Amino acid sequence: MDAKITARQVYKRYPSVDGGEITALEDFSLDVADGEFVCIVGPSGCGKSTFLRILAGLDTASAGSVTITPGADPRKPLNNVVFQEYAIFPWKTVLDNVAFGLEMRGVGKAEREATAREWIERVGLTKFAGYYPHQISGGMKQRVSIARALANDPEVLLMDEPLGALDAQTRKVLQQEFMRIWEETRKTVVYITHSIDEAVLLGDRVILMTAHPGRTKAVFAVDIPRPRSVESTALPAFSDLTYRIWQELEGEVVRAMGEEGQIKIEE
Amino acid sequence: MTRNTLLIALTLIAWNLLFFIAGWWQPLWWLGLGVGFALFIWLADEAGKTAPLRYQRTYEVGLAVAFPVLLLLAWELIARNEILNPRWFPPPTRIAAALWDLTIHYDTFNKTSMFGRPWLFPQTLAAEGWPAAWSLFTESHVLTTLWRVFAGFIIGVIPGIFVGMIMGMNRTVRTMLDGVMSAIYVLPKIAIFPIMMLVFANPFGEGPKIAVVAISAFFLVAINTMAGVRDIDPVYIQAGRNYGANRLQLFRHVILPGALPVIFAGLRLALGTALIVIVAIEFVRARKGVGFVTFYYWEVLVTEKMYAGLFVVMALGVLLTFSLQWLERRIMPWR
Ligand SMILES: Nc1ncnc2c1ncn2[C@@H]1O[C@H](COP(=O)(O)OP(=O)(O)O)[C@@H](O)[C@H]1O
Ligand SMILES: [Mg+2]
């Protein structure tokens, strides 16, 4: 199998307030195959976002190596991130936000707007192309953020709890939509979530991380047939796997919460 | 109109009639006005609560206009009845007349007028050509003041934004300049006017005046711009970089628009300060300008014209603020 992403013995240490160091990631390794959908779950503060930032090249590892294999077309960007906080620009319209990556790469106005409109349609925001972010809901903002990433057509898509801030219903709808889009594009995805259900529903593989320092605790292959939908959650295989993952995770969460003052409570 | 509102309205009328008939205005004006205003507020409040939804906007606009009118009316009454000395507090009608007088009047000695007599413009241009028509602009106190504010503002604001941007983005420059800037920031800018008079070849010309306005604007805008850049959520910078923006693109698409709201807050402060500074300077060192007119009429004790000058300053402040708000909406449609 072709490794699209290779992370080898990644360490990340941050200086702490008392002059010491916090180890956010320790000996973390991960291979992701081309076209694979990998989900990472773990207790809050275990270094998931840190790892994603390192993958994205927005932060550097203290030790170890991370590579994303370029594709056949060298002009294609290696990765794009769908941020936990959306991070779509309030000063740009939905259209300009979605076209942003293309604009930065020097794609002409007509072409980039055509591509952007296509993606805006695919995430169901056609009517809102001219709106500014403050005029649309949280779920719509995250759709814009996803469309912005997909319109840029990166080799791998990195998603950091993209649906974490949404209410349960909006979340379900977006999971459905995103599954449909992913079936069509079959992009390589690293998807961080704190929901085990979501990880099992979306992923080919679920990586479970330990807290403090962040390491791989367990890896689960998800063999629920695709295409999946919300009905897949009714399968016995689904509940079996989510239960198994929870059993492993529970101890971590309890341990993480016990470490006084170490854990930031996540939003 | 509910019964309650009607009752309060009647009480208000009765109260005023009582004072009028009994002749209490002179000795008890404070009581008459105080209770009168209290009743008016009660009445307006009641009317606002009971007005149908579609009249709410009308109600708000009406009240916003009615209250200042009422204040002027009260002032008029107080001055007319010589409760306050009308020599120092002339009634608004006399101030309005003075303003009209200043508008049409041309000072042949100083060769100035308040607004520059724009009604003479077409015929002057036709009969005597551009130089004469241009002198109609330069004779104007208002245009002179506006020009000083505008020139100083532009000269101060452009480098202010530039320096603020660099301070926001570069830690070394910021650390070097922060202390100096904060120290100069708190200095009342009018205090550097004497230095500016030493610096310029002609201490009584336009140079020192515009320079003080520019310097005041510069520091306010530079400090706000720096704060605006520092306040940008780092996740936007990360998004910009992750989507392939180079340094210039990052500046153009992320840092500049991200800092704009705070920059505009700085511009508003700078514009207000510019007006304060220029009026203060015109008080002491100018032969022209609204500040000069105001202070001149105080010196010769023509108080209604002094008030007319103050009114013009106020109107200029409102005009400048509105212009900036308009610009803000044009430049930042996403707000
Ligand atoms: N910029 C930083 N400086 C110092 N410590 C950080 C920084 N970013 C993250 N950390 C620490 O690293 C750990 C992992 O954080 P993060 O990757 O955000 O966790 P997660 O996304 O899994 O909730 C946390 O303990 C956090 O406090
Ligand atoms: Mg996180």
Which-ligand-closest: CA of A51? 1
Over 70: is that where the pLDDT of A263 sits?
no
Topology of the domain covering A1-69+192-267? Rossmann fold (3.40.50)
Instruction: List the alpha helices (DSSP H) in A4-83.
Output: 48-56
- What is the rounded (10 degree) CA torsion for B267, B268, B274, B279? 170
Q: What is each CA distance from B327 to A95, B195, B229, B330, in whole angstroms?
A: 24, 34, 20, 5
Give the pLDDT score at B5: 87
Q: Find out whether A168 and A174 touch, Cβ atoms under 8 Å.
A: no
Question: In this predicted structure, what is the pLDDT of residue B1?
Answer: 65
Model confidence at A267, pLDDT cuts 50, 70, 90, reads: very low
- Continuous H helices in chain A: 48-56, 94-98, 100-104, 109-122, 138-151, 168-185, 196-202, 236-258
The confidence band for A202, taking pLDDT boundaries of 50, 70 and 90, is very high
- Closest Cα in chain B to A53: B238
Mean pLDDT, residues A236-259 taken together: 84
Q: How far is B91 from chain A (nearest CA, A)?
A: 49
The pLDDT, as a whole number, for residue B19 is 87
Q: CB atoms < 10 A from the CB of B130, how many?
A: 9
pLDDT at residue A253, rounded to an integer: 77
At residue A80, the pLDDT reads 95
Say what the pLDDT of residue A266 is. 44
Beta-carbon contacts of A132 under 8 Å, excluding residues fewer than 6 positions away, are A90, A91, A92, A93, A94, B333, B334
- In sequence order, the β-bridge partners of residue A218 are A208
Domain boundaries, chain A: 1-69+192-267
Question: Is the pLDDT at A89 greater than 90, yes or no?
Answer: yes
Q: Whose CA is nearest to atom 17 of ligand 1?
A: A47
- Kindly state the tokens that stand for A159: 């998603």
Return d(Cα A113, Cα A251) in angstroms, integer: 49
B251 reaches A (C-beta below 8 A): no
* Alpha carbon A239 to chain centroid, angstroms: 23
Which run of H or of E encompasses B325? helix B303-331
Compute the CA torsion angle A231, A232, A234, A240 (nearest 10 deg).
Answer: -170
Q: How much is the mean pLDDT over chain A?
A: 90
What pLDDT was estimated at residue B167?
94
Q: How many C-beta atoms surround the C-beta of residue B104 within 10 A? A: 11
Phi, psi of B226 (to 5 degrees): -60, -50
> How remote is the C-alpha of B194 from its chain's centroid?
25
CA dihedral B76, B78, B81, B82 (to 10 degrees): -110
Question: Does A170 contact ligand 1 (Cβ within 6 A)?
Answer: no
Domains of chain B: 3-80 (no CATH), 137-331 (1.10.3720.10)
Q: What is the tens place of the pLDDT at every residue in A25-60?
A: 999 999 999 999 999 998 888 899 999 999 999 999
Question: What pLDDT digit, counting tens, does each position of B264-275 carry?
Answer: 999 999 999 999
Are A128 and A89 within 8 A, CB to CB? Answer: no
Does the Cβ of A17 fall within 6 Å of ligand 1?
Answer: no
Q: Give residues whose Cβ lies within 5 Å of ion ligand 2.
A: A 49
Distance from CA of B248 to the nearest CA of A (A): 10
pLDDT of residue A250: 84
What are the distances in angstroms from CA B6 to CA A12, B12, B16, B20? 75, 10, 16, 21
Query: How far apart, in whole angstroms, are the C-alpha atoms of residue B208 and residue B214?
Result: 10
Kindly state the average pLDDT of the residues A92-100: 96
Counting as low any pLDDT under 50, the low residues of chain B are: none
- This prediction has a pTM of 0.85
Give the pLDDT confidence score for residue B73 in this predicted structure: 87
Q: Give me B166's structure tokens.
A: 């660099």
- Whether ligand 1 lies within 6 angstroms of the CB of A21 is answered as no
**For B239, which residue in chain A has the nearest alpha carbon?**
A87
Ligand 1 test: best mutation among A10, A13, A14, A260, most atoms within 8 Å of CB?
A14
- The predicted pLDDT at position B121 comes to 82
Q: What is the ipTM of this complex?
A: 0.90
Q: What average pLDDT score do residues A141-148 get?
A: 94
What is the spatial distance between Cα A128 and Cα A122, in angstroms, rounded to a whole number?
Answer: 13
Q: How confident is the model at residue A100 (pLDDT cuts 50, 70, 90)?
A: very high
